[in-house]
Structures are given as structure tokens and as C-alpha cells.
Amino acid sequence: MANLKEIRNRISSISSTMQITSAMKMVSAAKLKKAQDAITAMRPYADKLTELLQSLSASLDGDSGSKYADNREVNKVLIVAVTSNRGLAGAFNSNILKQCTILLEETYAGKQVDFVAIGKKANDFLSKKSTVIANHSSLYEDLTFDNTAVIAEELMEKFTCGDYDRIDIVYNKFKNAATQIIMTEQFLPIEPMEGAVVSNADYVFEPSKMEIVEQLIPKSLKTQLYKGIRDSFASEHGARMTAMHKATDNATDLRDQLKLTYNKARQAAITNEILEIVGGAEALNN
């Protein structure tokens, strides 16, 4: 059994850890509220934009012929991996990195697979397994639509120039503070607009439907990327809050167990001292 000083040191160390994890939980909870409000407010806009694009595309005769819908034989793939810059968020980052590994080694086995890292954790891990052509970890310092749109434009240019035949986004979709859903979305080429309802209303389009669709597609792609990163940002704080809550609970349990062990050891030491005193007194009497 450890001596009393060692147990006291462990109790002190665990108590300090509890203060840190508890503080991190409260910070993440405060940041989560803002991030959750942002993604909740954005989803209706993103869904309506997609619905409008589907409706217009479905009303066109035949294929729209968009350069963003060019389905080529897939030989070169670019994967946008969205993680965080920091850890201590449970399985938040490892789940994304695991999914990227599956895409690299199984789904796109035998093909050229490169990565764009959004988040330091993605860059550190994937740079050891494949080629990371761009690292946008600094995006989280100022996460705005305009800054994300620059990245989306770079991705669109790489696709239209033929550098890559397919671009996917891998991120955590925010459901609630305790649940994140791993998403692998096809970014380019744009997927066929299936199931879209064509309106029978007689509209006058200015400019033409084709021009409107060609303007909406880049806007929709930028919104899709921004929504994915916003989802991941909210998921990160939810995952960290949950992880720090569990860490605080575990530290509390361990501290209570050590206190019980300390009290038992202290009681045993006192009992031994009493027995020694009694034994010494008996020896003097004899």
C-alpha cells in the first residue's frame, strides 16, 4: 500500500485535473451555444438554396451541361478532411481520420488520393499517410463565409481544370452535444438532381434558367462547404464538452476512492501506533 504522502500527492494532482476539466467543460458549453445557433440558423437557407437549384435544374431540357457536373472516370480523388486544431474532444477527430483512412485504403484503393486539411489534427495525421496539398488550419481563427468561399473556389478550380475527377468532404454533422454523425459528402461533380418537383407555374426568368443555374451552382457549393465546416465546429465543442464532463466525473470518482484509501491507511497507521504504545507500556510494567 502506498504511504500517506504519496496518496495525498495523488489526491492533490487529481483535484487540480478536475479544476482544469471542469473549466474546459464550461468554456466549451459557452462556445457550443453560439456555434449551435449559427448552424441551426444556416440550415434552412442551405436547404432552400438546394431545393431551388433542384427545381430549376429539373425544369431544364436534358442535362444542364454545367462544368461542375462533368462525370469523368475517377482516377484522381481529393478529400477535404475537416477536424479541429485541438484535441481533448473524445473520438471527434479520430473518427474523421479513421473514415479518411478507409477512403484512402479501401474505397479509392489503387487511385491517386490527396487531401485538403481543415484542422491541425487532420494535417498532422494525413501528411504521414498521403499528400496534403493544402492546410487551412488557420480558418478557425476567423470562420466566416467569405473565408470559406475562397477555399471552395480553389476546390472548384481544381475540378474544372481536371486536376481531380472527384472531390469529397468528410466532417462531423452536429446532432446534439453528445452525438456527432460522420458524413462523407460528394462535393464535385455535383450529383444528379433526382426527385425534384417541376413547378407548373408560368414564370418569366431574367436572365435565362441556364444562367441562373450556372450562378446558383457555385453559390450552392460554397454554402455546402461552409455548412459542413460549421457543423464540424459545433460538433467539436459538443464533443469536448461531453468528454470533459466525463473526465470530471471520472476524476471525482477516483479522488473519492483515494480519499477512502487514505483514511483507511491513516486509520491503520494510528492503530499501529496505539498498539506499539500499549505494547511498550506492558513491557515496562513487566
> Do residue 149 and residue 278 come from a single domain?
no
Whether 232 and 252 share a structural domain: no
What is the band of 227 on the pLDDT scale with cuts at 50, 70, 90?
very high
274, 219: one domain:
no
Flag whether 30 is in a domain: no
Instruction: Note whether 83 and 175 are same-domain residues.
Output: yes
Q: Which residue has the higher pLDDT, 131 or 62?
A: 131
Is 134 found in the same domain as 65?
yes
In single-letter form, the type of residue at position 279 comes to: G
Q: What is the CA radius of gyration of the chain?
A: 29
pLDDT of residue 205: 65
Q: How confident is the model at residue 57 (pLDDT cuts 50, 70, 90)?
A: low
Total of domains in the chain = 2
* 80: helix, strand or coil: strand
- Residues 15 and 69 grouped into a single domain: no
CATH number of the domain at 12, please: 1.10.287.80
Q: What pLDDT does 192 receive?
A: 60
Residues 175 and 256 in one domain: no
Residue-number span of the structural domain to which 266 is assigned: 4-23+244-285
Is the pLDDT at 5 greater than 60? The verdict is: yes
Q: Tell me: do 133 and 204 sit in the same domain.
A: yes
Q: What is the mean pLDDT of residues 116-135?
A: 95
Can you state the angle between helices 92-102 and 209-285, rounded to 10 degrees?
A: 130
Cell of 45: 437557407
Question: Taking the CA of residue 237 as centre, how many other CA atoms within 13 Å lie in the half-sphere pointing to its CB?
Answer: 20
pLDDT in tens, 158-182: 999 999 999 999 999 998 888 899 9
**Res. 218: pLDDT tops 80:** yes
